[in-house]
Amino acid sequence: MNDVFLVLAQAPGGLTCFLLPRVLPGGERNRVTLVRLKDKLGNRSNASSELELHDAVGWRLGDEGAGVRTIIEMVAATRLDCVLGSASLMRRGVAEATWHAAHRSAFGRTLVDQPAMTAVLADLAVESEAATMLALRLAAAVEHADDPAEAALRRIALPAAKFWVCKRTPTHVAEALEVLGGNGYVEESGMPLLFRESPLNSIWEGSGNVNALDLLRALMRTPESLDAWRDEVDAAGDERLLAPTDEVLKAIAGLGDPDAAAAQARWLASRVAVLLQASLLVRHSDPAVADAFVATRVTGEPTGVLGMLPATTDVRAVVERASVTC
């Protein structure tokens, strides 16, 4: 469906990146043959195909033999897209869920006023805002790649955010879908489309493990990225983040042989991302959101299920902040 494609192909000097146009400068189609469209779980409007190239025209991009190094620049950009896309799916889920809960009455009250539901909506909102903040902070780091501190932060925050935000999305979307009850399971609600889309960003451009392992690579090859992460977390000046930050630093210092380190990769990526989210929320969000996040994701035991916020959480404030009004 695209006008141009980046492809890798073997040139005499090794694997090389090429820019392949769909339509040639003279107006005729390039020799790209679609063998079949893939029958995908979702994401159908963004067609994927098996294709063959017979005498197709492609222009070299970057040096011959430097294909992977060249195309990886695109991968970094599209990994950011994955984080932004997943954060957007969550936000859409929150918008649909809070709207439905504000208008549907059950057992004598609107759903949003049923305490068990208010807690679910608040937790959905907290997760969504944390994802949005991290995605936008990452986007700023990508935009300021000429600043060494921002480049170092991007190196560690990109795989961590790609791993964590994309991983959280299917759970989040499923819970938002459930807020609509049976209607959420029906296509007209729009929620099944979000649900089918929700696992994709985690697979795209390197699946969960691949990104978690990339975080280990960042720690090994660019140690300054860890300093940049620590500075970003410390910028919150919040005592609640100190011990969890030390725990991560100790774990990194004690990483063993490559296999032992790889077994820790998911835990590390999740903690690196969650502490960044906590710092951002403390600095830029409503205290009700930041406190709920810290209590359930940083200092408290994660339950894996949304809607279990501490009784002290100002759930109404959190839900009102996230609700769509018109």
Ligand X SMILES: Cc1cc2nc3c(=O)[nH]c(=O)nc-3n(C[C@H](O)[C@H](O)[C@H](O)COP(=O)(O)OP(=O)(O)OC[C@H]3O[C@@H](n4cnc5c(N)ncnc54)[C@H](O)[C@@H]3O)c2cc1C
Size of the site for ligand X (CB under 6 A): 13
CB closer to ligand X, 196 vs 316: 196
Is residue 276 within 8 A of residue 134, CB to CB? The reply is yes
Contact status: 209 vs ligand X (CB under 6 A):
yes
Contact status: 43 vs ligand X (CB under 6 A):
yes
CB closer to ligand X, 203 vs 243: 203
Type and span of the H or E element at 317: helix 315-322
Please list the helix, strand and coil fractions of the chain in percent, rounded to the nearest 5, in that order.
Answer: 65, 10, 25
Strand pairing class (49-53; 32-37): antiparallel
CB closer to ligand X, 140 vs 203: 203
CB closer to ligand X, 129 vs 205: 205
Minimum distance from residue 203 beta carbon to ligand X (Å): 5
Contact status: 206 vs ligand X (CB under 6 A):
yes
Minimum distance from residue 37 beta carbon to ligand X (Å): 11
CB closer to ligand X, 30 vs 207: 207
3-state secondary structure of 16: strand
| Part of the chain binding ligand X (CB under 6 A), chosen from 53-61, 115-123, 201-209, 231-239 | 201-209
Contact status: 204 vs ligand X (CB under 6 A):
yes
Outline where 144-207 has alpha helix (H). 148-179, 191-197, 200-203
Q: What angle do the packed helices 115-143 and 148-179 form, to 10 degrees?
A: 150
Sorted by sequence, the CB contacts under 8 Å of residue 179 that are 6+ apart come out as 96, 97, 100, 101, 111, 117, 120, 121, 124
| Binder among 23, 72, 203, 305 for ligand X (CB under 6 A) | 203
Would you tell me which residues interact with ligand X (CB under 6 A)? 40, 43, 48, 200, 203-210, 213
